[in-house]
Amino acid sequence: MLFPIFVVVTLAEIYVLVSVGQAIGGLSTVLLVVVTAFIGSSLLRQQGWSTMAKAQQSMSEGRTPAIEMMEGVVILVSGILLLTPGFLTDALGLLGLMPWSRSYFINHFLEKNAERVFKQRNSVFINRASSSEKKSNKDDTIEGEFWEDK
């Protein structure tokens, strides 16, 4: 499934580069690709540091930085797309660096995959406390065993 995507994207990039090159000239096309790479790299650096700061803030507040880690993955993929020469990959990479579109990508991914993750029934928890040991106090430690079936 991945190979046809690479072939189609590569052919589309070549077509767009040739079309733009015919419209504005070869040197101007190369300069435009280089300029978009510089703009993308500065945005990549800025958004990367911003996401790192948000992750550190979450950890200092005692929360797991799950969303920030997912944002980091989107930023990483966006950086890879920006390093790939071409206008289509640059456009997708720049979209991944915009906070509003990045949150859209993450929400879309979670909507598609959350059900698959949370419906897996391959983990088991057994509580071996006797009925005399069970208390209603929330501060008590619960002894038990946990394992995941693979």
Question: Residue 123: which H helix or E strand, with range?
Answer: strand 123-127
Convert the pLDDT of each residue in 100-146 to its tens digit: 899 898 888 888 887 776 676 655 545 455 455 455 556 667 777 77
Identity of the amino acid at 52: M
What are the residue boundaries of the structural domains of the chain, listed by start?
2-120
pLDDT attached to residue 64 = 86
pLDDT attached to residue 112 = 85
SS3 137: coil
The Cα–Cα gap between 37 and 9 comes to 18
Asked if 130 and 111 touch (Cβ cutoff 8 Å), the reply is no
Beta strand extents in 21-141 (DSSP E only): 123-127
List, as own/partner pairs, every contact residues 134-137 make where C-beta atoms lie below 8 angstroms and the sequence separation is at least 24, other chains included. none
Asked if 41 and 80 touch (Cβ cutoff 8 Å), the reply is no
Between residues 145 and 95, the one the model is more confident about: 95
The Cα–Cα gap between 119 and 41 comes to 39
pTM: 0.69
SS3 126: strand
